[in-house]
């Protein structure tokens, strides 16, 4: 599903269930030794997806551990991103020679819990979200905004190794299926030029909202 909003050179592996019999590397097992069963299932399945995607790039199975701020640690040859929510797990990877960064997120297509939008959205974002909801009430635009912010962070962190607060990117959503995140803090420098915005795409399907950002090296 999420491959529909990513360039063809980004490899996608996804699952809508937690298949039985999946295993982890011992190093991964230690990361979830005290986790509840739900967390263990999603952790295991999304890493299974990651290894499937890496295999399509010709890379051998390897542990996907957690680095700073919990970000997945990928093999040096690739950039990647993982996401999971109820009923969906996905991993995407691409060669570092082709893409500077990728970031994906999936959420249930349902309104955000009360108070969350106020906590994560700038005043302009709230106004635009309200306008979209009035014009197209069949889409949970608040949830889509949240997902877009998650994808922005996942694309930002590998480039900067810095936190990006919800209020440090102003996201403008085009209902046709794209969004632009205008960075309100200095961005990374790619190709000799500072990045001032991330551009992404979204899809609402199968009871899910998925968002994705992929920045090619050639245009970074």
Question: Pick from 80, 97, 114: which residue ends a domain?
Answer: 97
Q: Mean pLDDT across the stretch 69-78?
A: 93
Same domain, 69 and 115: no
Task: For residue 27, name the pLDDT band (cuts at 50, 70, 90).
Answer: very high
Same domain, 40 and 59: yes
DSSP characters over 112-159: PPTTHHHHH--HHHHHHHHHHHHH-TTS-HHHHHHHHHHHHHHHHHHH
Same domain, 89 and 114: no
Same domain, 86 and 38: yes
In this predicted structure, the answer to whether residue 69 has a pLDDT above a threshold of 90 is no
Domain residues for the domain of 55 are 2-97
pLDDT tens per residue, range 193-214: 999 999 999 999 999 999 999 9
Task: For residue 68, name the pLDDT band (cuts at 50, 70, 90).
Answer: confident
* pTM listed for this prediction: 0.95
Q: Mean pLDDT across the stretch 77-81?
A: 97
Same domain, 89 and 109: no
pLDDT at 220: 46
């Amino acid at each position: 599903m999420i491959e529909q909003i990513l360039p063809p050179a980004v490899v996608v592996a996804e699952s809508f269930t937690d298949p039985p019999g999946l295993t982890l590397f011992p190093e991964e097992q230690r990361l979830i030794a005290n986790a509840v069963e739900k967390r263990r299932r999603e952790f295991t399945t999304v890493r299974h997806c990651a290894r499937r995607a890496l295999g399509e790039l010709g890379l051998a199975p390897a542990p996907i551990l957690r680095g700073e701020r919990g970000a997945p640690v990928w093999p040096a040859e690739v950039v990647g991103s993982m996401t999971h929510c109820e009923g969906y797990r996905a991993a995407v990877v691409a060669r570092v020679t082709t893409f500077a960064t990728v970031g994906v997120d999936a959420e249930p297509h349902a309104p955000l819990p009360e108070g969350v939008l106020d906590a994560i959205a700038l005043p302009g974002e709230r106004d635009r979200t309200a306008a979209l909801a009035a014009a197209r009430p069949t889409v949970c635009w608040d949830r889509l905004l949240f997902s877009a912010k998650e994808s922005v962070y996942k694309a930002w962190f590998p480039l900067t190794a810095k936190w990006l607060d919800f209020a440090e990117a102003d996201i403008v959503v085009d209902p046709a299926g794209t969004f632009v995140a205008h960075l309100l803090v200095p961005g990374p420098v790619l190709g000799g030029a500072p990045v001032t915005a991330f551009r992404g795409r979204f899809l609402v399907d199968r009871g899910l909202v998925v968002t994705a950002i992929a920045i090619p090296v050639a245009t970074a």
